[in-house]
Structure formats: structure tokens, C-alpha cells
Amino acid sequence: MAIKNAYILDLLARTEKRNANEPEFIQAVTEVLSTLEPVIEQRPDLVEAGVLERIVEPERQIIFRVPWTDDNGKPQVNRGYRVQFNSAIGPYKGGVRFHPSVNLSIIKFLGFEQTFKNSLTTLPMGGGKGGSDFDPRGKSDGEIMRFCQSFMTELCRHIGADLDVPAGDIGVGAREVGYMFGQYKRIRNEWVGVLTGKGIPYGGSLARKQATGYGLCYFTNEMLKANGMSFEGKTVLVSGSGNVAIYACEKATEYGAKVVAMSDSNGYIYDKNGIDLDLVKQIKEVERKRIKEYVNVHTDAEYHEGCAGIWTIPCDIALPCATQNEINGESASILVKNGCKVVSEGANMPSTPEAIDTYLANGVLYGPAKAANAGGVATSGLEMSQNSIRMSWSFEEVDEKLHGIMKSIFKACDDASKTYGMPGNYMAGANIAGFIKVAEAMKAQGNV
């Protein structure tokens, strides 16, 4: 979207200058600021309070050395990050990503997005994100444990149940959260809900594992309903085959859709009969192998090398659930040409700006990440509540709360898009609704 407001253009230029060489962070900031023009015009008080200048600057950025020893006894070193972005409405909250691509730009874009996403959940959580350029692929269980322990040995002094509560993200699931939780408890000598996504026997919440994928489908279902559509009988593409992708596939199938493709960072599978999700779970969750193993069992399915090819398969609905910028302008155009009507984001920022322009120009229903994938962190919020009251709720109770939250997130996006003159633009609606709550809190708390 072209930005016209002179104040926003100037702020963006200053932000770009201050954060040179951080393309993902600038991309996320540009997207949000480009949709805030109508709010800024109506709310000069927020500009006067310096809310925008402050909201694009993280409150605190921590970068640290993570030394660990591999199975051959050789010293290894990675870089750890925690960016505590915004605590206006609650303790910093957000996942930890272990992937070789991790750098400060990626952690800052994720922390920035998290601030607005967490605001949309209706729960009192600020925004934060962390991670490391450690590559978990091909590492033994012992190496993963030693890495997680070393990472937490440093991180533990910066986090706390009422201060900053990390969770999982790419490369960090229940196994890694378990090792980090154990190390925190040992060093700090206290049992508190300092991480979410924990295992069920030690304070984890039922339905947290399913929450991001299920939540994505709950949100998408609301968006479809509001536009006279449904999942029933639709052909769906789900990229990725990790935590978010697997449970998005499960719920979309439950809603009557047929998921025909999934992927990992090496390639994608196409099964015209519909994905056999039990097999995908076995390959990815149990055996931790590559998605191409799928065609050894289903010999009539196809495997293709490369990630982008998945978007060339004709579909009604695309659910990108792998990583940032996985759909570019070219892939978006192919999706549209093949009749895709809906793109709803499980991953964080999976669509490039050119891809988003293509959706909006072609009337594709677009569910933006910070709203559509907020079910994961919302359920993390429910895990924090359960830990605080020292209770655990049933799967059904948590799932019902999650469903209610996703409905209210869709309504907030829809209402804001209408109030600010952009009906059906849920990206603008999500940014505006998420922003206003944080901005009001920041203004009320003074220039801190």
C-alpha cells in the first residue's frame, strides 16, 4: 500500500536509517505503519505522546554467546537473542526460534509482530521473541539438551513468570521447552510458569500443541463465513509439516476440506487423494525425518524438490505454515491464476509485500498472520493462567476458550476494517485493532 501521510513517511525513513541491514524488521514495520494512516489522522494525541516512535523501538535487546559441546567433545558456539519488544499491556511473551537463518532482523520482526498479535488475543501479554542461529537438524538428543541448557543458563537471568515468558517456534517444540524449563528450575530454584508449551505432566496446557493450527482454521472459518463461504469440499494447500502445519491440516480436514499438499525446507508432497496425516505425524513428530518419506508409503503421491512449487498446485485455499516470505509476488500470481480464493497465514509474515498487493488487487480473502496464527500464543496465555491458579483445564475447556478467542479476533479485525473505511481488508483491521490497545496503554503510562 502506498503511504501518503508525511509523518508516517518520515518515521519510516528514520526507522530504516536506524535499523539499516534489517530487511525483515523494516518489512514488518512498513506493513503496519502503512495501514495506520486513518488512525493517525483521527488521533493526533497518540502522535503527540510519541507512541509511534516508541513502538518501533524494542524496550530491550539481549544478545549472548551460547557455548556447547558436541558429541565428539568439540566446543561449539552459537549466538542467542532475546528481544523484549513491548511490555505496555503485560509481561513480554513470545516464542524462541532455533534455525540457522536466525539473526537480529528476524527476531526483531517477530517481536514487533508479536506485540500486536498478543494485543489481539484479548489477554494481558506484551511482545517478545528470542532464538539462536543453532541448527537442530542432524543433532543428537544429547546435543540438543546441552545446547538448550547453555542457552537457558544465560537467558534465565532475563526472564520470569511476571517478566518474560518464552515458548516454542521453528525448531523449538515440547522437547526443547522441557530442557530449557528443567535448566531454569535448577538454576533459579523455583517452579513457576516461566515457559509455555511445556509437557502435560509438568504444567503444560492441553490443546497448546494443536492451538496454532486449530486457531488458524477457526479464524479462517469465521472469515469464510463472513464472506458466504466454508471449508466444505475445498482443496487446500498447507506449506510446512511442523507443529502449525500438522494441526492446520487436521482441523481443515475436520471442517470438510481436502488438504492435497504439504512441504518441508527440501520439497513438497502432492497427494490428490488427500494427505494421510497419521503418516505425516509419524514421519515428522515421531521419526523426525524428511517429508519425502511420505511417497515411500503412498507410491501414488508425488514428491518434488524445492519449496515454492507447492504454490503452483491448483487450490481454493492456501495456508502457508512454514516461514517468512515463502509466498512472493510470482507465487501469489500463480495462486490467483489457478483460482485460489483465500490465503490465511499460519506462519509469521509468509507473504512478501508484492504477494499481499496481489491478493488485495484480486479480491483474495486474506487472513494476516498476526490475527490468523494468534491461537498459539493465546493458548500460551491460557497455560500461564492455569499455572498461576495451579489448576489444569480439560482439552475441551481450553479448545472452547481458544475458539472463542479466534472468533473475537476475527470480529475485531472485521470491525476495525469497517470503522476505518477499509471493509474486508483484514490486514488493516488486525494492525489497527492490535495497535490501538497497545497505543492507549503506552500513552496512559507516560513516556517510558
CB of 204 to ligand NDP, least distance (A): 13
The sheet with strand 75-86 has its strands ordered as 60-69, 75-86, 126-132, 92-98, 164-167
Q: What angle do CA 207, 172, 367 make, to 5 degrees?
A: 60
Stretch that binds ligand NDP, among 221-229, 340-348, 402-410, 423-431 (CB under 6 A): 340-348
Tallying the residues shown for the chain, one arrives at 448
Among the listed residues 94, 111, 130, 168, the single contact to ligand NDP using CB under 6 A:
168
**Closer Cβ to ligand 2IT, 117 or 198, answer by number:** 117
Output the smallest distance, CB 362 to ligand NDP, in A: 24
Distances (CA, A) of 235 to 11, 246, 310, 363, 368: 42, 16, 13, 18, 20
CB of 239 to ligand NDP, least distance (A): 7
Residues 262-281, one symbol each (x = binds ligand NDP by CB under 6 A, - = not), give --xxx---------------
Compute φ and ψ for 302, nearest 5 degrees.
Answer: -110, 145
Q: Near ligand 2IT by CB under 6 A, which window of 87-95, 263-271, 389-397, 440-448?
A: 87-95
* Residue 241 interacts with, from ligand NDP, ligand 2IT, none (CB under 5-8 Å by kind): ligand NDP
**Which grid coordinates are listed for 62?**
539481549
Q: Applying CB under 6 A, does 94 fall inside the site for ligand 2IT? A: yes
H or E element: which one contains 303? Answer: strand 302-305
Q: Cα–Cα distance between 35 and 417 in angstroms, integer?
A: 10
Coil vs helix vs strand at 18: helix
Cα(174)–Cα(46) distance, rounded to whole angstroms?
40
Candidate residues 119, 348, 352, 425; the one interacting with ligand 2IT per rule CB under 6 A: 348
150 binds, among ligand NDP, ligand 2IT, none (CB under 5 to 8 A by kind): none
d(C-alpha 52, C-alpha 388), whole Å? 33
Which residue in 144, 321, 364, 428 binds ligand NDP (CB under 6 A)? Answer: 321
How far apart CA 258 and CA 236 sit, in angstroms, is: 6
Instruction: Considering the complex, state which of residue 221 and residue 243 has its C-beta at the smaller distance from ligand NDP.
Output: 243
Among residues 94 and 204, whose Cβ is nearest to ligand 2IT?
94
User: Does 196 contact ligand 2IT by CB under 6 A?
Assistant: yes
- 93 is a contact residue toward ligand 2IT (CB under 6 A): yes
Q: Which of 380, 386, 425, 431 binds ligand 2IT (CB under 6 A)?
A: 380
* CB closer to ligand 2IT out of 196 and 358: 196
- Sequence-distant (6+) residues with CB within 8 A of 153 are 183, 187
Q: What angle do CA 402, 404, 409 make, to 5 degrees?
A: 95
Distance of CA 73 to the CA centre of its chain: 35
> Interface with ligand NDP includes 347 (CB under 6 A)?
yes
- d(CA 30, CA 426) in angstroms, rounded, equals 16
Please indicate whether residue 411 is annotated as part of the active site. no
Radius of gyration of the chain (CA): 21
| Residues 6 or more apart whose Cβ sits within 8 Å of residue 209 | 174, 197, 243, 247
Residue range at the interface with ligand NDP (CB under 6 A); choices 24-32, 84-92, 145-153, 343-351 = 343-351
- Residue 95 touches ligand 2IT, criterion: CB under 6 A: yes
Closest contact distance (angstroms) between CB of 281 and ligand NDP is 12
What is the grid cell recorded at 59? 524496550
Host H or E run for residue 223: helix 208-226
Residue 12 contact partner, candidates ligand NDP, ligand 2IT, none, CB within 5 to 8 A by sort of partner? none
Under rule CB under 6 A, residue 167 binds ligand 2IT: yes
Cα separations in angstroms, 95 against 173, 217, 226, 228, 236: 10, 21, 31, 35, 27
The H or E element containing residue 86 is strand 75-86
Question: Of 129, 139, 258, 284, which residue is the catalytic one?
Answer: 129
Minimum distance, C-beta of residue 373 to ligand 2IT, in the bound complex (Å): 6
Please give the residues from 227 up to 256 whose contact with ligand NDP meets the rule CB under 6 A: 240-245
What DSSP character marks residue 316? S
Task: Choose the contact partner of 242 out of ligand 2IT, ligand NDP, none; CB within 5 to 8 A by kind.
Answer: ligand NDP
- Verify binding: residue 169, ligand 2IT, rule CB under 6 A: yes
Chain contacts with ligand NDP (rule: CB under 6 A): 168-171, 173, 212, 240-245, 264-266, 307, 321-323, 346-348, 373, 376
Residues labelled catalytic? 129
Chain contacts with ligand 2IT (rule: CB under 6 A): 93-95, 114, 117, 167, 169, 196, 348, 376-377, 380
